[in-house]
Structure 1
Amino acid sequence: MNFRTDIFSLEAPSNKKFNLVGVKMPTNIDVYFRAKQKEIIDQYAAARIFMHETETDDWKHWFNEVEDKTANEAFKFIFTSYFYESA
C-alpha cells in the first residue's frame, strides 16, 4: 500500500535548538498532551506500516538484527506490540 505522505515527518525534529531565556516550564496538561500526541503518532505509524506489510511476504526487510540478543528481543517485542495494537 502506497501513501502520499511520510508518516515519520510528523514527529518532532531531533536536532532543534531553542533559546530558553524567558521560557516557562510546561504544565502537566502540556506534558500530557505531548505524550498523547506521541502515542497517537506511534500508533498511526504502526498502522501504516502494518497496512504496507500486509502486501509483502518478506517481513524481515525492515528489521536489522544487532549483536545483542536482548536488544533484538526488545526490538521485536516493540514492533510486534505496535502491530498487534494497530491490528
Structure 2
Amino acid sequence: MPQQYHHPLEDGFTDKIHTPAGVRSLVERSHLMDLLRELEKDGHDVSGAAAELVALVNYVTSSQVSMRDLQTHLDYCTMQLRQQLK
C-alpha cells in the first residue's frame, strides 16, 4: 500500500506566508522540507528537490541579513544628517 503523506494548509497560513516574517518562518519550519524528508525516508531520491529548497532558504536568509545591514547603515546615515542639520 502506498505511503500516505499529510501536510494540510493551516488556517491563516496563506495570509502569513506572504509577509517577510512568514517567509523567514520557513527557515525554521517548512511543510515542503518535512515532505521531502518523509519521501526520502521512504526510499525516494529527492536530493535534487532538497538541494533547490535549501538554496532558496539560504538565499532568503542571506537577503534578510543584507537588508538588516542596509537598514542599520541607513539609520546611521540619518542620524549623521540630523546632527549636521542642527
TM-score bin (small chain): 0.3 to 0.5
Higher relative contact order (CA 8 A, sep 6+): 1
Question: Which of structures 1 and 2 has the bigger CA Rg?
Answer: 2
Q: TM-score, normalized by length of structure 1?
A: 0.39
